């Protein structure tokens, strides 16, 4: 695997949190938001599928999400795949594509990390360019939380989604770096875990375009057991299309989440804001609506508390 040590920008040291218990996923209704004033708390954001629908273009919904992540005081931002439309072969075109995207990132002042999506690696030339600028996979520890970025695109896409021995060894090696008390955040673009789920989730996830490549794999037999003794989130970013803004699944001490934003629909957009404070990680799904960020408890409470809640009903609510 192509792995590198992630380089982080300078930050003032903050007390390390060694034990974090997960609490229920919840959204908070607020008319105005501001960063937490608890000096022992910190937060980060995850945005999946932020690409535009055209080459060399910006996604205005993504820009609004970036501004909200900034307003919420997120220290870190994770871009969970499909950052650009791609499909380009010339170096000049690839550089132009990424320069437009990087210009939009100026709306966020914290540290930024990339997890590759299939659009980002859509040609041999784009893959080479990406590897020159970002690691495909890697991990780091930040204030007592382990972050692992995993490349779900190649070669998994070529062989139907199975995770090979080298990739399994990478995941095992990274998880074994720290004790079971250290929580983890595992980020990958595709929901490789999206088989053998509750029927409602499976029905919803089947509509994701790229899921056809990953409908049968060895995730639950060979990969999930590696996480079972740890507490954490596995977050995939290939939503925001086909009327799937957000869904999740829980097993053992692990919460699996699929979320993402779209450039074409104002209702199918969710990004995640996670706050670490007082021994807890709180995750808040934030919905975009008419290019503004809203906190939508009534939208997500049912899907959160009942994992078999019909995603189609959720979409009906979102369309109101």
Q: Do 182 and 139 touch, CB atoms closer than 8 A? A: no
Q: At 71, list the tokens.
A: 């307003």
Residue 124 structural domain: 24-319
Strand, coil or helix: what is 147?
strand
Domain count, the chain: 1
* Cα gap 2→151, rounded to integer Å: 9
Which stretch of DSSP H or E encloses residue 132?
Answer: helix 124-133
* Cα gap 12→71, rounded to integer Å: 20
- Flag whether 33 is in a domain: yes
- Flag whether 16 is in a domain: no
**pLDDT at residue 40 in the model:** 84
- Flag whether 2 is in a domain: no
Placement of tokens 């997120």 in the chain: 74
The CA-based angle 83-86-90, given to 5 degrees, is 130
Q: What share of the chain is helix, strand, coil (3-state, %, to 5)?
A: 30, 25, 45
- The length of the chain in residues reads 320
- Flag whether 7 is in a domain: no
- Flag whether 173 is in a domain: yes
Q: How far is CA 18 from the centre of its chain?
A: 23
Q: Do 82 and 120 touch, CB atoms closer than 8 A? A: yes
- Flag whether 1 is in a domain: no
**pLDDT at residue 173 in the model:** 97
* Cα gap 78→112, rounded to integer Å: 6
* Cα gap 236→161, rounded to integer Å: 14
* Cα gap 137→81, rounded to integer Å: 12
**pLDDT at residue 2 in the model:** 59
Backbone angles phi, psi at 219, to 5 degrees: -60, -50
**pLDDT at residue 49 in the model:** 93
Per-residue pLDDT of the chain (320 residues; tens, 9 = 90+): 655 555 443 322 222 222 222 223 333 222 223 344 456 899 999 999 999 999 999 999 899 899 999 999 999 999 999 999 999 999 999 999 999 999 999 999 999 999 999 999 999 999 999 999 999 999 999 999 999 999 998 766 566 668 889 999 999 999 999 988 899 999 999 888 875 554 444 444 444 444 444 456 788 899 999 998 899 999 999 887 655 556 777 788 888 888 888 887 666 678 899 999 876 888 888 876 543 343 333 333 333 333 333 334 334 433 44
* Cα gap 148→205, rounded to integer Å: 23
- Flag whether 241 is in a domain: yes
**pLDDT at residue 220 in the model:** 85
CATH of the domain at 38: 3.60.21.10
Placement of tokens 């990004």 in the chain: 271
- Flag whether 113 is in a domain: yes
**pLDDT at residue 270 in the model:** 82
Placement of tokens 């979102």 in the chain: 318
């Amino acid at each position: 695997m192509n792995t590198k040590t992630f380089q982080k920008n300078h930050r003032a040291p903050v007390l390390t949190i060694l034990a974090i218990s997960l609490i229920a996923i919840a959204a908070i209704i607020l008319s105005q938001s501001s960063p937490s004033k608890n000096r022992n708390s910190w937060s980060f954001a995850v945005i999946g599928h932020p690409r535009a629908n055209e080459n060399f273009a910006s996604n205005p919904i993504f820009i609004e999400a970036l501004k909200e992540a900034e307003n919420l005081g997120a220290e870190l931002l994770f871009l969970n795949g499909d950052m650009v439309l791609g499909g380009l072969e010339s170096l000049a075109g690839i550089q132009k594509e990424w320069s437009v995207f990087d210009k939009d990132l100026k709306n966020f002042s914290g540290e930024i990390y990339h997890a590759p999506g299939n659009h980002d690696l859509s040609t041999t030339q784009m893959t080479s360019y990406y590897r020159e600028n970002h690691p495909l996979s890697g991990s780091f520890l930040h204030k007592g939380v382990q972050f692992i970025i995993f490349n779900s695109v190649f070669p998994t896409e070529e062989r139907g989604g199975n995770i090979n021995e080298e990739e399994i060894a990478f995941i095992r090696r990274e998880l074994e770096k720290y004790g079971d008390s250290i929580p983890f955040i595992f980020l990958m673009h595709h929901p490789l875990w999206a088989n053998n789920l509750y029927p409602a989730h499976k029905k919803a996830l089947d509509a994701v375009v790229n899921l056809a490549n990953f409908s049968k794999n060895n995730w639950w037999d060979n990969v999930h057991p590696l996480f079972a003794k740890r507490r954490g989130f596995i977050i995939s970013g290939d939503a925001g299309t086909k009327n799937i803004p957000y869904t999740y699944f829980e097993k053992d001490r692990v919460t699996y989440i699929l979320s993402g934003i779209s450039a074409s629909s104002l209702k199918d957009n969710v990004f995640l804001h996670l706050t670490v404070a007082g021994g807890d990680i709180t995750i808040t799904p934030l919905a975009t609506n008419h290019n503004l960020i809203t906190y939508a408890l009534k939208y997500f409470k049912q899907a959160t508390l009942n994992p078999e809640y019909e995603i189609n009903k959720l979409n009906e609510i979102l369309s109101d």
